[in-house]
């Protein structure tokens, strides 16, 4: 089984301030050409709450440009990472209609562009720490269900739950419209066991972030942390995973970001051949 790779938007451009990840407002167009040169097949779009209205994915002119660049470079946009939801979690707000309206607009934009998945990060500021937040998330998801159905889009959750808790959580949702993002680095950092994770909720996984982390520590170059990529590939084959593997790898320490992606791609190709 052959896997193919994509990259998290912004990883092919210089950092914005000290942020590891942010929408590259000035450079998003050139990333299509850079991704093609690297042999990548996909870019996962990023949405920040700041300047959300100006993000090209939400307006007709931007959507037209994205379609043209995607076609010209043979780079698909299959998924969006909604960092905006982590920055302003709609499941933590009492009066959250404005935030839900933002989500509905994003879903509508996905329909126009043929984007299949929206990653909702239930981590960091978005982490679910009580029953109220979980209940509010379930209610909010029911509210947008008709838009997901109409647009053929799935909301997929990235979480810091233990494997057992994540299985109980995702079983509360309709598999046709909701799923799981598997983040190799986050799981490695939390010292979760890959075989257990895939056994418990593998059938819900429809998006994968590739990164590596030290056990209970920071993100590092692939192969330098606690992630077991050989086991990851074996489990992905078991579930017949057929979506791009999105490189969300550590940033270069000397601003040589494209070279860093090349190093990580070479590492993954070696694992394939084992």
Catalogue all structural domains in the chain, each as residue range(s) with its CATH number: 5-272 (3.20.20.150)
Least Cα distance to 238 among 179, 195, 189, 175 occurs for 195
pLDDT more than 90, % of the chain:
92
Residue-wise pLDDT for 70-113, tens only, equals: 999 999 999 999 999 999 999 998 888 999 999 999 999 999 99
Angle in degrees, CA 148, 65, 110, rounded to 5: 5
pLDDT of amino acid 229: 97
CA distance 53 to 10: 18
Residue-wise pLDDT for 126-163, tens only, equals: 999 999 999 999 999 999 999 999 999 999 999 999 99
CA distance 180 to 249: 19
Mean pLDDT of the chain: 95
Residue-wise pLDDT for 178-207, tens only, equals: 999 999 999 999 999 999 999 999 999 999
Contacts of 169 (CB under 8 A, 6+ apart): 134, 157, 159, 161
Predicted TM-score (pTM) of the model is 0.96
Residue-wise pLDDT for 160-181, tens only, equals: 999 999 999 999 999 999 999 9
């Amino acid at each position: 089984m052959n896997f193919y790779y994509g990259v998290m938007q912004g990883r092919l451009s210089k950092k914005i301030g000290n942020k590891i990840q942010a929408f590259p407002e000035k450079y998003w167009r050139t990333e299509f050409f850079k991704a093609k040169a690297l042999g990548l097949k996909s870019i996962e779009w990023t949405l920040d709450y700041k300047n959300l209205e100006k993000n090209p994915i939400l307006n007709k002119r931007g959507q037209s440009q994205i379609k043209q660049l995607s076609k010209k470079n043979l780079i698909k946009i299959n998924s969006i990472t909604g960092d905006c939801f982590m920055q302003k979690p709609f499941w933590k707000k009492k009066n959250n209609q404005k935030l839900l309206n933002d989500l509905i607009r994003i879903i509508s934009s996905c329909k126009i562009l043929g984007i299949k998945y929206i990653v909702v990060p239930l981590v960091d500021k978005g982490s679910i720490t009580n029953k109220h937040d979980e209940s509010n998330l379930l209610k909010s998801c029911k509210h947008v269900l008709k838009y997901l159905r109409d647009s053929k889009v799935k909301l997929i959750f990235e979480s810091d739950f233990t494997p057992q808790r994540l299985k109980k959580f995702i079983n509360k949702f309709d598999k046709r419209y909701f799923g799981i993002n598997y983040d190799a680095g986050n799981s490695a950092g939390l010292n979760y066991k890959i075989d257990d994770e895939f056994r418990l909720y593998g059938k819900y996984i429809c998006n994968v972030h590739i990164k590596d982390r030290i056990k209970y520590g920071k993100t590092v170059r692939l192969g330098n942390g606690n992630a077991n990529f050989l086991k990851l590939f074996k489990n992905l084959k078991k579930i017949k995973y057929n979506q791009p593997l999105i490189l969300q790898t550590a940033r270069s320490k000397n601003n040589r970001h494209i070279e860093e992606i090349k190093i990580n791609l070479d590492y993954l190709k070696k694992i394939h051949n084992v």
